Amino acid sequence: METGVTASAEPETSFFAPLWDAIGWLFDGIWAIVHPVLTTIDPLCGPVGVFKLFFSGGVLACGDTGWGDDVASGFYVTASLAVCTLPVGLLIGFFLALAKQSDERFLRAAGDIYTTLFRGLPELLTLFIIYYGLPLVIGQALVPFGSGGAIEINPFVAGMIAVGVVFSAYCSEVLQSAFKAIPRGQYEGGYAIGLTHGQTMRLVILPQLLRIALPGLGNLWMTLLKDTALVSAVGLPDILRQTGIAAKVTKQAFFFYGLACVLFLVLAILSSFIISWLEARSRRAEVRR
């Protein structure tokens, strides 16, 4: 799976060509290291994978005789997209929440415009704008630097950006509500014992913020998992696209789309266990305090 941004302009005429080459080399290096590990622990077509153990003689057989490898790769792409998008959305959402409660009127207005825009637009439309429109904007921006070539954004990166900005818009609302739930005295107490604003935020406010916001963030994570299915519209081989291709070729639509439902539910169930564990730990930490 390739993830990156590439430019089709001539290298000698593009100011940013070395940067694109470095990014591509970095992703290739990471993939070369990670891919053997993922192949070994693959829960579907690995050495002890479900498809290899129980469906070796059917349409889900791994290898050239079945669709097991294709569905397994789609499962990995979906999980990877969700995991890669989560920190991006959380980081943007955190800064948006800070901006929306800032004393600066401009920052509050910018945060409100951002959240209104990406909560109001359909996710699929946001994906199309980023996948088809962002390369044009980047290409025009690079013209003054001598790069007249078209910019191509990988579907994985486009999906991560599109789903990430939508997730961050909703995340900022959850975090802003959590900020409001923390008494002002918590800040004043941190300043009173000699902590700087940054230390107060890191040591006093953030632990409480995460504990309060965790249930809402857990719900947003479930929504994020479902939204990853939209990237199949731009050609990314995720669960939905791979099972859709298999359904068309084998004429077993109910079976493969039902399998897609099962795989999404597996991700959701695993996520529920992890979120419940995090909530339990946060409650124990609160009791100890």
Across 50-59, 102-111, 160-169, 222-231, least confident range? 50-59
pLDDT, mean of residues 132-149: 75
**What one-letter code names the amino acid at 272?**
S
Arithmetic mean of pLDDT over the chain: 83
Can you tell me the distance from the alpha carbon of 268 to that of 275, in angstroms, rounded to the nearest whole number?
10
Structure tokens, 230: 């939209």
- Banded pLDDT at 22 (limits 50, 70, 90): low
- Banded pLDDT at 286 (limits 50, 70, 90): low
CATH code of the domain containing 146 = 1.10.3720.10
Q: Looking at residue 99, what DSSP letter applies?
A: H
pLDDT, mean of residues 235-239: 90
**Residue 222 has what pLDDT?**
94
Can you tell me the distance from the alpha carbon of 45 to that of 160, in angstroms, rounded to the nearest whole number?
25
- Banded pLDDT at 12 (limits 50, 70, 90): very low
Across 25-39, 66-80, 201-215, least confident range? 25-39
Can you tell me the distance from the alpha carbon of 36 to that of 221, in angstroms, rounded to the nearest whole number?
28
| Residue-wise pLDDT tens digits, 151-194 | 778 888 899 999 999 999 999 999 999 998 988 888 888 888 88
In the three-class reduction of DSSP (H, G, I as helix; E, B as strand; rest coil), residue 5 is classed as strand
For 243, the domain range is: 5-288
H/E segment holding residue 79: helix 68-100
Please say if the pLDDT value at position 14 is more than 60.
no
Are the C-beta atoms of residues 241 and 235 closer than 8 Å to each other? Answer: yes
**Residue 73 has what pLDDT?**
87
Specify the higher pLDDT residue, 75 or 24: 75
Domains held by the chain: number: 1
Q: Looking at residue 238, what DSSP letter applies?
A: -
